[in-house]
C-alpha cells in the first residue's frame, strides 16, 4: 500500500545549512498492517508523516501509495489517506463540532443523508453526541483531540497516519481510544502508522520503525527491538515488562520449586506510619471561594472552593473536560471570574506580573 524508496527531505530554509530531516528512508506498509514509528524529538517522525500523507514532496527518492506516485497530487489518492496532527487546533476548522465533522464529507460531494449517517455514527463512538452544536474552542484539549481524530476517521481512509495522537488524552480514555482504532482497522481493513516518542504508548504494536537523526535505524518486531543495545543511543526506553523479562528465568511446566525460609533484616521504616498530627502549611497562598468561571455563557467551573499553599507543588487532576485548563486560565487572569473570588494573602488576587502559564500547546505562547 505505502512504499518509501530511498526518501530524503530537508526543509527549504535549512538547505545547505542543516542535515536532512530525513535521509535515505526505505520501508513499506501493507494493507491492514499496523506499525509504530518511534524516535526522539527531532528525529524526523512528523516530517515522515507529512511525506506519507502527500503534504510534503521528497527532494530525493519516491513515495508510492497503491502503486501510484504521491508526487502526482492525485485527489483520488489523497482521499484515501488520513493524517492526525499532534495539535488538534491545526485541523479543526468548523464553528461547531457537527460542522467540523461534516466539512470533509461535503468537500467530496456526499449526500446530506450519508453525511448525517456518518456524523451520527462517529459522534456516538466518540461520545460527541451532546457536543455537536458546541463551538470547538470551548472544548478541552483532550476532547479537541477526540474531535480531530473523529474528523479523520469519518472520511474512512485506507491509510491512517497518527502523529502522537495520545498526547492530549488522559489515561481513562486511552484504552477506549486504542480499542476504537483497532475496531476501525479490522472493520475497514485500514493500515495504521502510529507515531509516538514513547514505547509504552504503543506497546500493543508488533512491528516498529525507529528513526534516529533522520535515518531509519530499525524495522522489525518488538521483541528484537527491546533487545537492541542501541536503544540508549536512539533515546528510547524499553517497556518495563521487557526489562523485567531479562531478569526472569523461564520454568517449564511441572518444574519443582523448593521453598526456603530466609531471614531478611532491614532498618526500621517510618514511611507508612500515619503522622500523629495533621501537617501544617505556611500562611498565605491562593484561596478560591465559591468560584465560577467559563467561556461566555458556557459555565465550566461552578462554585468551587480550594486553596493553593505557597512553596508547595500543587496538583490539579481530573479527566478530560472537567475544567482543569479553565481553572488555570482563571488563576492566570486569562479568563474573567463570573462568580466568587480569588484571594492572595487575604487580598484580592491580581495575577499580572505574578502568574505565568505554560500551555498544553506551546504554539499558544508564540507571537
Q: d(Cα 178, Cα 166) in Å, to the nearest integer?
A: 9
One domain for residues 228 and 315: no
Residues 227 and 358 in one domain: no
In-domain check, residue 156: yes
DSSP state of 294: E
Determine, yes or no, domain membership for 6.
Answer: yes
Closest CA to 108 of 135, 127, 89, 82: 82
Examine residue 326 and state whether it is found in any structural domain, yes or no: yes
Expressed as residue numbers, the domain containing 149 is 2-242
Judge whether 253 lies within some domain.
no
Residue 243 pLDDT grade (very low, low, confident, very high; cuts 50, 70, 90)? very low
Domain match, 78 and 8 both = yes
C-alpha–C-alpha distance, residues 352 and 338, integer Å: 18
Give the pTM.
0.71
Residue where one domain finishes, among candidates 189, 208, 242: 242
Query: So what's the pLDDT on residue 317?
Result: 85
Task: Answer whether residue 287 shows pLDDT above 70.
Answer: yes
Q: Are residues 119 and 198 in the same domain?
A: yes
Instruction: Starting at the earlier edge strand, list the strands of the sheet with 298-308.
Output: 298-308, 286-295, 339-344, 347-348
Number of domains in the chain: 2
Residue at 112 is within a domain = yes
Q: Are residues 189 and 336 in the same domain?
A: no
Confirm whether 267 is domain-assigned. no
CATH number at residue 172: 3.40.50.300
250-268 average pLDDT score: 56
Which helix H or strand E contains 48, and what residues bound it?
helix 45-52
> What is the DSSP annotation of 148-203?
HHHHHHTT--SEEEEESTTTT--TTTHHHHHHHHHHHHHHHT-EEEEEES-GGGGT
For every residue of 50-119, DSSP letters joined together read: HHHTTSS--SEEEEEETTEEGGG--HHHHTTEEEE-SSGGGT---SSHHHHHHHHHHHTT--HHHHHHHH
Kindly state whether residues 123 and 203 are assigned to the same domain: yes
On the question of pLDDT at 342 being above 50, the answer is yes
Residue 261 located in a structural domain? no
pLDDT at 247: 46
Are 203 and 146 contained in the same domain? yes
Amino acid at each position: 500500500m505505502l512504499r518509501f524508496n530511498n526518501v530524503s527531505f530537508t526543509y527549504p530554509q535549512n538547505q545547505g545549512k542543516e542535515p536532512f530531516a530525513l535521509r535515505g528512508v526505505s520501508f513499506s506498509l501493507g494493507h491492514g498492517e499496523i506499525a509504530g514509528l518511534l524516535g526522539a524529538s527531532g528525529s524526523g517522525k512528523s516530517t515522515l508523516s507529512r511525506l506519507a500523507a502527500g503534504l510534503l514532496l521528497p527532494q530525493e527518492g519516491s513515495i508510492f501509495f497503491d502503486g501510484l506516485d504521491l508526487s502526482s497530487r492525485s485527489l483520488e489518492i489523497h482521499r484515501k489517506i488520513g493524517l492526525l496532527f499532534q495539535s488538534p487546533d491545526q485541523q479543526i476548522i468548523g464553528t461547531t463540532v457537527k460542522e467540523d465533522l461534516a466539512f470533509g464529507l461535503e468537500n467530496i460531494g456526499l449526500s446530506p443523508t450519508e453525511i448525517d449517517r456518518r456524523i451520527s455514527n462517529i459522534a456516538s463512538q466518540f461520545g460527541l453526541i451532546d457536543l455537536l452544536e458546541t463551538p470547538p474552542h470551548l472544548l478541552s484539549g483532550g476532547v479537541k483531540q477526540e474531535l480531530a481524530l473523529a474528523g479523520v476517521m469519518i472520511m474512512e481512509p485506507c491509510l491512517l497516519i497518527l502523529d502522537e495522537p495520545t498526547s492530549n488524552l488522559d489515561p481513562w480514555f486511552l484504552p477506549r481510544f486504542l480499542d476504537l482504532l483497532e475496531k476501525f482497522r479490522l472493520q475497514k481493513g485500514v493500515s495504521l502508522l502510529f507515531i509516538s516518542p514513547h514505547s509504552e504508548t504503543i506497546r500493543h504494536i508488533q512491528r516498529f520503525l525507529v528513526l534516529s537523526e533522520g535515518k531509519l535505524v530499525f524495522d522489525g518486531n518488538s521483541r528484537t527491538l527491546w533487545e537492541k543495545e542501541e536503544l540508549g543511543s536512539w533515546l528510547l526506553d524499553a517497556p518495563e515488562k521487557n526489562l523485567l523479562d531479562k531478569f526472569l528465568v523461564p520454568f517449564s511446566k511441572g518444574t519443582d520449586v523448593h521453598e526456603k525460609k530466609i531471614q531478611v533484616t532491614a532498618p526500621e521504616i517510618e514511611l507508612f506510619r500515619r503522622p500523629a498530627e495533621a501537617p501544617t502549611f505556611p500562611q498565605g497562598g491562593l484561596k478560591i471561594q465559591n468560584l465560577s468561571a467559563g467561556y461566555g455563557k458556557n459555565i465550566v467551573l461552578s462554585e468551587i472552593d480550594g486553596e493553593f499553599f505557597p512553596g508547595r507543588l500543587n496538583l490539579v487532576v481530573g479527566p478530560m473536560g472537567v475544567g482543569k485548563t479553565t481553572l488555570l486560565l482563571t488563576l492566570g487572569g486569562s479568563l474573567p471570574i463570573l462568580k466568587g473570588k480569588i484571594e492572595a494573602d487575604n487580598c484580592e488576587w491580581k495575577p499580572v506580573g505574578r502568574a505565568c502559564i505554560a500551555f498544553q500547546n506551546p504554539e499558544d505562547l508564540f507571537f
